[in-house]
Amino acid sequence: AAIRRKTVKDILKAKGHHKLVCLTAYTAPVAQILDEHCDLLLVGDSVGMVLHGLPDTTAVTLDMMIMHGKAVMRGSQNALVVVDMPFGSFEESPQAAYRNALRVMQETGCQAVKLEYNSAAPETIRFLVDRGIPVVAHIGLRPQYLHVEGGYKVAGKSEESRKEQLECAEQVVEAGAFCVVVEGTKDEVAREISDSIPIPTIGIGASVDCDGQILVTDDMLGMFDRTPKFVRIYAELKSQIETGVKQYADDVRREQFPAVDETY
Ligand code: KIV
Ligand code: NA
């Protein structure tokens, strides 16, 4: 029987009751595997690095997000699907953000969009939510600010930064976000945010006390040689692929593949 897809209300109601299991997804077959285990699938703009070989997320386009969003929707039926608003697609004005978020929602069929916090975020989030587009906010370390920050910097280390992050969290709640991703933030600050706001926090490089956790799926499955400290490796996909491909190459070169019963 078809499982009813999770809703924004289901995610909200989880706070204080059960941890939210979240992962990134970019393709239909992987989304299909993750779907029954996850509350939320995020089509992250990390797709630029994970699948397209880009150095960071700043060159990811709306069309890329829509293409991967469609694939993830086709591959899933249970999890709530959130698509990232890429760099440049929501900052200019609430109106521009709305037009682009509308395209994402209509063309992919996803349930919500996510955007990285900026000074216009409260106004933009309110504008989208008022028009029927649920929003996940992203605070703490914001990868789209790489060039402004001069690197990926953990948030909440100073008292000033702690206050700033708490304020961001309160603002996005006030603006109507139903969930907030807290990335790369001091453990105690992420905990304080989680304790002080009524919507779920999803941590990545944050705190065990966040209301849920998310990782980049390809990171936790061991697709890369180098992963940050906050990633726990749950599989060794890269070495398994290497082993399989090496065996195949050897078999072809030694004329061990195909065998007679693998031909017509
Ligand atoms: O793009 C992404 O994958 C993300 C998550 C890491 C939160 O924004
Ligand atoms: Na992202």
Residue pLDDT, tens place only, 221-257: 999 988 899 999 999 999 999 999 999 999 999 999 9
With the most atoms of ligand 1 within 8 angstroms of its CB, the residue from 24, 26, 83, 185 to mutate is: 24
Cα(95) to centroid(ligand 1), Å = 24
Give the catalytic positions in this structure.
Answer: 183
Annotated binding site: which residue ranges? 45-46, 84, 114, 116
Give me the interface pTM, i.e. the ipTM. 0.99
Treating both helix axes as pointing N-terminal to C-terminal, what angle do 159-175 and 187-196 enclose, rounded to 10 degrees? 30
Mean pLDDT, residues 73-100: 98
Percent of the chain with pLDDT over 90: 97
Check whether 1 has a pLDDT greater than 80: no
Q: Is the CB of 181 under 6 A from ligand 1?
A: yes
Closest CA to ligand 1's atom 5: 44
Closest CA to ligand 1's atom 2: 44
Domains and CATH numbers, the chain: 8-233 (3.20.20.60), 236-264 (no CATH)
Q: Is-above-0.95 flag for pTM?
A: yes
Q: Is the CB of 84 under 6 A from ligand 1?
A: yes
**Which of ligand 1's atoms lies nearest the C-alpha of 181?**
7
Tens digits of per-residue pLDDT, 92-149?
999 999 999 999 999 999 999 999 999 999 999 999 999 999 999 999 999 999 999 9
With the most atoms of ligand 1 within 8 angstroms of its CB, the residue from 82, 87, 216, 219 to mutate is: 216
Tens digits of per-residue pLDDT, 149-183?
999 999 999 999 999 999 999 999 999 999 999 99
What is the residue-averaged pLDDT of the chain? Answer: 97
Q: How far apart are CA 260 and CA 244, in angstroms?
A: 21
Cα(77) to centroid(ligand 2), Å = 22
Cα(255) to centroid(ligand 1), Å = 44
Q: How far apart are CA 46 and CA 110, in angstroms?
A: 17
Cα(46) to centroid(ligand 1), Å = 6
Enter the tokens of residue 149.
């920050």
- φ/ψ region of 176 (left if φ > 0, alpha if ψ in -120 to 50, else beta) reads left
Q: How far apart are CA 249 and CA 244, in angstroms?
A: 9
With the most atoms of ligand 1 within 8 angstroms of its CB, the residue from 46, 51, 138 to mutate is: 46
Check whether 2 has a pLDDT greater than 80: no
Specify the pLDDT at position 4: 85
Mean pLDDT, residues 10-24: 98
Cα(259) to centroid(ligand 1), Å = 44
**Which of ligand 1's atoms lies nearest the C-alpha of 215?**
6
Quick one: 7 exposed, middle or buried, by C-beta within 10 A (0-12, 13-18, 19+)?
Answer: middle
Q: How far apart are CA 64 and CA 42, in angstroms?
A: 14
